[in-house]
Amino acid sequence: MSSLRQRFFVNFWPPIPTLVALGVASAYYFALTGTFWAVTGEFTRWGGHVLSWFGLKPQEWSYFKILGLQGTPLDRVDGVMVLGMFLGALCCALWAGNVGLRRPASLRRLVQGLVGGIIAGFGARLAMGCNLAAFFTGIPMFSVHAWAFMFSTVLGAWLGVKITLLPFLRHSLRVQAGGSTLPDPEALARRTERQWRLGWALLLLAFAVAAWRFEASLALGMAFLFGLAFGGLIERGQICFTSAARDLWTTGRTKVAYGILLGMAAACIGTFAAIRLGVAPKIFWMGPNAVLGGVLFGLGIVLAGGCETGWMYRAMEGQMHFWVVGVGNVIGGTLVAAFWDELGGALALPYPKLNLLELFGPVGGLLLTYLGLALSLVLVAANARRFSHARKTR
Amino acid sequence: MNTERKPDLSLDLRGEHCPYNAIATLETLRTMKPGQLLEVVTDCSQSFHGIPEDATRHGYHCLAVEQHGPLFRFLIEVPSPTGE
């Protein structure tokens, strides 16, 4: 039992199989709820709720007419799914004894997180989705705008790396001779045990919430359960979409990028099946908004250190920096909603919603998607060669 | 494994997030001599996958990855040029 616990509940899971599991789960989620796995739309609605407390009427804004702002988060598929993600990530972090308040390195870093979060939230909502809806679950919708967003995000991440590594954003290295003192093993063991039990108590509570939402509707109950799984998986696998885009430019990491591409490959056939059976795919405008949004999103997530799903599980682990990034995301998304008439009117609404399955037929669209994913895999591998054994050639 | 061996240098990255963790680790390793051992301590869970992958890709040996509650500890060796 203790070795099972160590293996599955403490040790992190390898990212590639975890991402494939996320891809498969996201396809089922789409078939069951009729919407894709997405989070930023819900964050923006939170911004709308906050504004309405101050007497504004965001429900009359055109952007919230697209998104919908009825009821509370608990009455919406996206809302219960996001709540599920937070609880799932928290359960998993507790089981691993990995919850603890982590203070940010400096105030400057915190401001950087807020600014990055705002830019990322703004870019994501401009393109109608984040690393999920306009990327990981957008490409399996066969929406062309998701491809534009993905490549623009990688480009934006390059800009983000340039800014992030500027001298005024670097801290001096804290290096000392010899080893450092680690926490007392006995105190640590007691703390781990407490968190382990707390994690199970929280899961019981989550099941009670699930039962309550199933009473309201099947879609709400399922969305909550899937949220638990999504949040648990991203925490267990430490799935960082930011790293996938950013580290193409910094150190040449490949694992997460491969995992994301393979996860989408696994999702595509599932979403394709659901679409063939009549579930309507979510297709968005292929306008400058997708490209500009992608660049801003890529820049913002690198500056902040995490994207919309990244901050969620890190915040649950107690990384205070990412609480601020999350607030930034909500602010950024809400800004898009506030200026949507100007932004959308110029950058999105006049452009067509391009669906690969309609443009090239079902077989052609599916084939083209897999070809695109394969080409992306090759590009990631070719890029990584720039970094291999860089030390030896120097 | 080699956890008994005392590291030559220790890099404290608590409170920092990516990419600073990865960059700082590689920068510190570059200043070290062959055969030396670097200890890295972070509180960012993501570095659990990232730092070993980066160290290996850049030609170093990641000898140990440990979790101590919300802290993560890595031991990375600068390989000797004469061989393994």
Place A237 in a pLDDT band, splitting at 50, 70 and 90.
Answer: very high
Asked if A238's CB is within 8 angstroms of B48's CB, the reply is: yes
Catalytic residue among B2, B9, B14, B18: B18
Contacts of B27 in chain A (CB under 8 A): 173
Would you say A85 and A228 are in contact if contact means Cβ atoms under 8 Å apart? yes
Nearest Cα of chain B lies from the Cα of A55 at a distance, in angstroms, of 38
State the ipTM, two decimals: 0.90
- Taking the Cβ of residue A26 and every Cβ of chain B, the question of whether any pair is shorter than 8 Å is answered with no
Two tokens, residue A301: 């997530």
pLDDT, mean of residues A91-102: 96
Would you say B40 and B74 are in contact if contact means Cβ atoms under 8 Å apart? yes
Predicted pLDDT of residue A180:
84
Residue B18 annotated to the active site: yes
Contacts of A250 in chain B (CB under 8 A): 19, 22-23
Does the structure show a pLDDT above 60 at B56?
yes
Q: How does the average pLDDT of chain A come out, rounded? A: 94
Query: What percent of chain A lies above the pLDDT cut of 90?
Result: 90
Per-window interface: A 148-187 vs B, CB < 8 A: 161, 164-165, 170-171, 173-180, 182-183
- Distance separating alpha carbons of residues B39 and A225, to the nearest angstrom: 40
Q: Tens digits of per-residue pLDDT, A32-51? A: 999 999 999 999 999 999 99
Per-window interface: A 98-117 vs B, CB < 8 A: 98-100, 102-106, 109
Does the structure show a pLDDT above 90 at A295?
yes
Nearest Cα of chain A lies from the Cα of B57 at a distance, in angstroms, of 5
- Distance separating alpha carbons of residues B77 and B40, to the nearest angstrom: 11
Poorest-pLDDT segment among A64-73, A202-211, A272-281, B75-84: B75-84
Q: Tens digits of per-residue pLDDT, A106-130? A: 999 999 999 999 999 999 999 998 8
pLDDT, mean of residues A124-149: 94
pTM value is 0.94
Place A188 in a pLDDT band, splitting at 50, 70 and 90.
Answer: very high
Two tokens, residue A48: 């709308």
Instruction: Give start and end residues of each alpha helix (H) in chain A.
Output: 2-4, 15-33, 40-53, 62-67, 77-95, 107-126, 144-164, 185-216, 218-237, 241-246, 255-276, 288-304, 308-316, 320-338, 340-347, 356-359, 361-384, 390-393
